[in-house]
Amino acid sequence: MARNRRRLLGGWGMAVLTAAAIGLTGLVTADQAAAVAGATADAAYGYVVKVRVGADRACTGVLVDPHLVATAKNCFATAPVTGPAPAGSTVTTRSDQPVAAQTVTVDYLHVRDDRNLVVAHLAKTVTGVRGSAPVSASASAAGETLRVLGFGRTARDWLPDLPHTGQIAVQDTTATTLGLVPLGDATICRGDAGGPVIRENSDGTAELVAVLSTSWQGGCLGETGTRRDATASRVDGLGAWIAQLKEFEVTGRVEAAGGTGCLVVTDGTGTYQLAGGDATVVKAGQTVHVYGYRAPNPAGACTQGVRVQVTQAYTVQTLTGTVTKGVEGCSLLSSGGVTYSPFGGDPAVVTVGAKLSIAGYPISGVTKCSQGTPFRVLSVTPATAVSLRARVNGKYVTAANAGAEPLIANRDTVGGSWEKFDSFELGDGLIALRAQVNGKYVTADGAGDRALIANRDYVGGTWEKFLLVRNTDGSVSLKAVVNGKFVTAESAGAEPLIANRDTVGGSWEKFDLNNL
């Protein structure tokens, strides 16, 4: 019996459930046949969506992530392939959700070769829908009762505004499909392709086990046959595959790789090719934070790392300073002449009075604080209180005259705040030094032509940035970014510090960096 049934499913009588939009809207009332259909699905099933491909194909889909919709792959073409979606492909949410119906473009397809299943990537996040149906890890068994939902035609409507639903029984299973028999007055019609088949648990949760594929359509509007059995493509057990299709975040310095125009980022142990994104942000030498999704390499493209289609890209900045409290109670940090409102960091670290380096990027409209520019925190490094002792004379560096005069190595001890500096990490081995005596940053004045002095309110550019070089003898050297010169205790420490040496030639360019 099972063998005979499978032969019939592949024959002329079993219809693919993709609906033609012209057919859905072109019939008049006199053409409508009396047939049974399931009830309108409750608004709690907000994850069920309409899928349209151009002007002539309509299906159903299920949100498996705010950026991903699972549906039947034959909704898009007879034999779709992984890659950009056909023009005019969209997903529309239900009109009875907390957020008004949203129509979002489908920009990429992840196709399964072994079954009638595709996961469509959305160009924009879908928000404000009710309910969820995570992918089930458990297979269905013959005799199990499940629920199906779809936007296809019903017994009386060619193009319903809301999805309908009914219960079905699993008749048989294969490695990739379920054979289904509708129960009661339920039926599965054109336009239901890709609709979710869910398991409803006793605790009120639901799990996605399959998406609808084909049906005999008995009881559907415009159909004269009575046979109603159907098939669905199994989704259970594909949670890990779907998870790797979700958008993710990568942070790192962009580097040019082999191949024309190839750009890569290494984040931890992973290397990623960056495809697309704002070219003014995603460029070699820039440290970026990008959002994107895995997309296979097109022919002739880069071969290094995992290709990521970039959906959003931000230039990573590093703020330095002391956290203050705004009038609304929000944490604020002034850096580079701008006041920021950092969010997303550990509140036990980003606290009032803390001296911090905060890496991240500004982004609008994401906090409730009216003060400051919102700043997404990626990482936080507390500043370290340090002193510097010149190797050439064994004297400590001081911000002479409470910072009003240049730095000079002429103190026997760390006697107070004149000899204390806060070291802020800027990334890539760079630091900024802020004198505790006056709260000013050390600068290589005159682009390095004049002595170092602590007289800057913030790290405004390369004058206030130094590369911290650790020498093999345990000492450190400071290389000014502005001119690429090493800082020296001029005249064996008798004159102020200045960045004018090409190399670390001896003890004049070496210092002991001591944490306080």
pLDDT tens-digit series, residues 269-318: 889 999 889 999 999 999 999 999 998 877 666 788 889 999 999 999 99
Phi, psi of 393 (to 5 degrees): -130, 0
Question: What is the pLDDT, as a whole number, of residue 183?
Answer: 93
Rounded to an integer, what is the distance from CA 141 to the centroid of its chain?
A: 36
Q: How confident is the model at residue 78 (pLDDT cuts 50, 70, 90)?
A: confident
19 and 99 in a common domain? yes
176 and 224 in a common domain? yes
268 and 137 in a common domain? no
Q: Mean pLDDT, to the nearest integer, of 92-111?
A: 95
Cα pseudo-dihedral 349, 355, 361, 366, rounded to 10: 50
CATH of the domain at 165: 2.40.10.120
Question: What is the pLDDT, as a whole number, of residue 264?
Answer: 92
pTM of the model: 0.82
131 and 79 in a common domain? yes
- In this predicted structure, the answer to whether residue 54 has a pLDDT above a threshold of 50 is yes
Encoded amino acid at 261, one letter = G
409 and 273 in a common domain? no
Q: Is 168 helix (H, G, I), strand (E, B) or coil?
A: strand
With CA atoms as reference, report the closest residue to 459 among 444, 449, 470.
444
448 and 473 in a common domain? yes
Cα pseudo-dihedral 286, 287, 290, 293, rounded to 10: 80
Q: How far is CA 251 from CA 274, 357, 378, 431, in A?
A: 11, 17, 9, 20
486 and 350 in a common domain? no
- In this predicted structure, the answer to whether residue 12 has a pLDDT above a threshold of 60 is no
122 and 209 in a common domain? yes
Question: What is the pLDDT, as a whole number, of residue 36?
Answer: 29
Question: What is the pLDDT, as a whole number, of residue 11?
Answer: 29
Cα gap 316→376, rounded to integer Å: 10
172 and 71 in a common domain? yes
Looking at 207, 240, 273, the residue that finishes a domain is: 240
Cα pseudo-dihedral 128, 82, 107, 284, rounded to 10: 110
Q: How confident is the model at residue 34 (pLDDT cuts 50, 70, 90)?
A: very low
Cα gap 367→380, rounded to integer Å: 19
Cα gap 302→332, rounded to integer Å: 42
72 and 187 in a common domain? yes
Q: How far is CA 136 from CA 60, 82, 98, 200, 314, in A?
A: 19, 24, 26, 11, 35
Q: What's 274-294 look like in SS3?
A: EECCCCCCCCCCCEEEEEEEE
* Percent share of the chain, pLDDT over 90: 75
Q: How confident is the model at residue 511 (pLDDT cuts 50, 70, 90)?
A: very high
CATH of the domain at 290: 2.40.50.140
Tally of domains within the chain: 4
Range of the domain at 255: 248-315
Question: What is the pLDDT, as a whole number, of residue 258?
Answer: 72
The overall average pLDDT reported for the chain is 89
Question: What is the pLDDT, as a whole number, of residue 14?
Answer: 47
Tokens for 118?
């595709």
Please, are residues 290 and 308 in contact by the beta-carbon 8 Å criterion? yes
Question: What is the pLDDT, as a whole number, of residue 115?
Answer: 96
CATH of the domain at 340: 2.40.50
Question: What is the pLDDT, as a whole number, of residue 315?
Answer: 96
Higher pLDDT among residues 130 and 40, named by residue: 130
Q: Is 425 helix (H, G, I), strand (E, B) or coil?
A: strand
Looking at 240, 269, 294, the residue that finishes a domain is: 240
Extended strands (E) in 216-351: 230-234, 248-256, 263-267, 270-275, 287-294, 306-315, 317-322, 324-325, 331-335, 338-343
Q: Which long-range contacts (CB under 8 A, 24 or more apart) does 13-16 make?
A: 13/216, 13/225, 13/227, 14/214, 14/215, 14/216, 14/231, 15/190, 15/214, 15/215, 15/216, 15/217, 16/72, 16/74, 16/193, 16/213, 16/214
Please, are residues 181 and 229 in contact by the beta-carbon 8 Å criterion? yes
Q: Mean pLDDT, to the nearest integer, of 469-484?
A: 98
Q: Which of 19-23, 329-333, 365-369, 488-492 has the lowest mean pLDDT?
A: 19-23
If you write DSSP's letter for every residue of 55-113 in order, what string do you get?
Answer: TTEEEEEEEEETTEEEE-GGGT-SS--SEEPPTTEEEE--TTSSS---EEEEEEEEE-S
- In this predicted structure, the answer to whether residue 494 has a pLDDT above a threshold of 80 is yes
Terminal Cα distance for the chain, rounded: 83
Radius of gyration of the chain (CA): 32
Q: How confident is the model at residue 30 (pLDDT cuts 50, 70, 90)?
A: very low
Cα pseudo-dihedral 398, 400, 402, 404, rounded to 10: -130
Question: What is the pLDDT, as a whole number, of residue 231?
Answer: 95
Looking at 191, 222, 240, the residue that finishes a domain is: 240
335 and 294 in a common domain? no
39 and 99 in a common domain? yes
